[in-house]
Amino acid sequence: MAEPTQARPKGTLDFVPPDAERKHHVESVFRILARRYAFQEIVTPVFEHTEVFVKSSGAASDVVTKEMYSFQDRAGRDLTLRPEGTPGVVRAVLENRVRLPARLYYIGPYFRYGRPQKGRYREFNQLGLEALGEATPMTDAELIYFGDEFFRDLGIVDLTTRLNSIGCRECRPAYRAELVGFLEQHRDKLCDDCRVRLERNPLRVFDCKNATCHRVVGDAPKPRAFLCADCGRHFEGVTTALERLGLKYELDDRLVRGLDYYNRTTFEYVSGRLGAQDSLGGGGRYDYLVAGFGGPETPATGLAIGLERTMLAMPDPGKPARRRLAFVVWMTEAERAAAWDLVDRLRAEGIPTLMDYDADRPKRQFKSADAAGAACCVIIGPDELAHGMYSVKDLASGEQSRVPHDLIVPQVRAMLRD
Ligand code: AMP
């Protein structure tokens, strides 16, 4: 279908001011917290060989079968814009022989050709953690707690943490057989997609959004009822740790997550403030993926948070009337050089500052200050210059006062609420 080419492509977002600043804020809260939990940043390419995703996310997963932006480059290589973070991270860790165990975090754009709606985009950003080489349930609990702390730091309330375990290679075959047996009995009620899932990866049926399929799996056997002793102990380790941390969670039998590589713990954060796309993030254990990439047996667990949905769930900051900006105004030509020096000084102190170089009269400069959304003006006239003073005007209240030269920086900072 033709799309107006002067508009942004369907499913993409622009971050115009002040949203880009809010995005940056979310990223820095994540970064600071990740470092506090001893994670180090990893940056990998936005595109990878298509095989990297097919091999890890699962050839039958929705992401791989329907949602990838795949293309051939000019030399005929099969490439894909990354739909998620973990496969590229695992590939990079092995290729660069990153020492294991390793705690890594990443932030960046991801691409999925889904049906766009509020909270679901074709280009979106994820903030993720991968703990490679840690088998203990304490790590799963730590990651789950990390996400909860991150959302709390951003003022997000109305959050539910869901938890499940989907077993391991030992116990999953028995469960799978039981599930397939059950689904076979209800085959006629399943959608076409789920009939294919039934053959290729029956756990995926739990993810189906179709109302009838949803009802069918409501009565299906549940993965947690089939856990082997080791998986049972691991899951108990996670729940005990979460209880000690004081984190409330809900057990969710349907939580199998959309990607094939998960085992044991799966978790998800759901917001009551969002509509249909209410999952803010989630993750789980993936103990077989590193070896699947040809690396050593490496237990691992990860977490990915959606940045756009996080921003939607955050409290509305309201429209700030004024920007964190100081504007320097000169009265007559004689103070213009002093005004310029002051701009320099304020900027050197880290204060965002502007002046209007082209204006001929103070009135025009005040107009420019207002148009820029500045919070205050610092005014230099002949009298101020003669007495070593500046006048400062709060543009929201209109209040004006005089400040000696050496106090101007703290005064402006106070007015910008630094
Ligand atoms: P997933 O990798 O599917 O487990 O997704 C992890 C998180 O990324 C989700 O909980 C969402 O917050 C976010 N996410 C996934 N897909 C999209 C999308 N198409 N648009 C916006 N956010 C998304």
Asked whether 282 lines ligand 1 (CB < 6 A), one says: yes
> Are the C-beta atoms of residues 138 and 241 closer than 8 Å to each other?
yes
Pairing, β 123-132 against β 326-330: unpaired
Pick the atom of ligand 1 nearest to 279's CA: 10
Q: Is 283 in the pocket of ligand 1 (CB under 6 A)?
A: no
Residues with pLDDT less than 50, the chain: none
Residue of 265, 264, 300 whose CA lies nearest to 282: 265
Cα of 8 vs centre of ligand 1, distance in Å, is 20
Torsion of CA 8, 10, 16, 20, to 10 degrees: -130
Give the residue whose CA is nearest to atom 18 of ligand 1.
120
- Read off the DSSP letter of residue 315: P
Sheet holding 263-271: strands in order across?
A: 40-41, 102-111, 123-132, 300-306, 279-285, 263-271, 159-165, 250-251
Q: What is the pLDDT of residues 279-317, one digit of tens each?
A: 999 999 999 999 999 999 999 999 999 999 999 999 987
CA of 68 to the centre of ligand 1 (A): 14
CA 307 to ligand 1 centroid distance, Å:
9
Per residue in 56-75, pLDDT tens? 877 767 788 789 999 999 99
Give the integer Cα–Cα distance in Å for 77 and 43. 22
Q: How far apart are the first and last CA of the chain?
A: 49
The residues that bridge with 127 in the sheet, in sequence order, are 107, 305
- pLDDT tens digit string along 123-182? 999 999 999 999 999 999 999 999 999 999 999 989 999 999 999 999 988 998 999 999
Specify the DSSP class assigned to residue 46: S
Choose the residue to mutate in 61, 154, 279, 289 for probing ligand 1, maximizing ligand atoms within 8 Å of C-beta.
Answer: 279
Instruction: Supply the pLDDT for residue 1.
Output: 56
Domains located in the chain, CATH noted: 19-171+227-313 (3.30.930.10), 326-415 (3.40.50.800)
Q: According to the model, what pLDDT value does residue 418 have?
A: 62
Contact 311 CB / ligand 1 (< 6 Å): no
pLDDT of residue 359: 86
Q: CA 228 to CA 165: how far, in whole Å?
A: 11
Cβ-contact 277, 119 below 8 angstroms? yes
Report the sign of the C-alpha dihedral through residues 51, 300, 308, 239, in that order.
positive
Distances (CA, A) of 401 to 215, 301, 351, 378, 412: 69, 58, 19, 10, 12
**pLDDT for the residue 258:** 61
Q: Which of 43, 21, 187 is nearest to 109 (CA)?
A: 43
pLDDT for 198: 86
Nearest to 50 by CA among 77, 90, 74: 77
Look-up: residue for tokens 């705690």? Answer: 103
Half-sphere exposure of 62 (CA within 13 A, CB side): 15
Q: 111 alpha carbon to ligand 1 midpoint, in Å? A: 10
Nearest CA to ligand 1 atom 20: 120
Residue 134's Cα: distance from chain center in Å? 23
Task: Please tell me if the CB atom of residue 377 comes closer than 6 angstroms to any atom of ligand 1.
Answer: no
Q: For residues 83 and 125, give the distance between their C-alpha atoms in angstroms, rounded to a whole number.
A: 10
Residue owning the nearest CA to atom 16 of ligand 1: 120
Verdict on whether the full-model pTM lies above 0.75: yes
Half-sphere exposure of 317 (CA within 13 A, CB side): 12
Amino acid at 153: D
Rounded-to-5 percentages of helix, strand, coil across the chain: 40, 20, 35
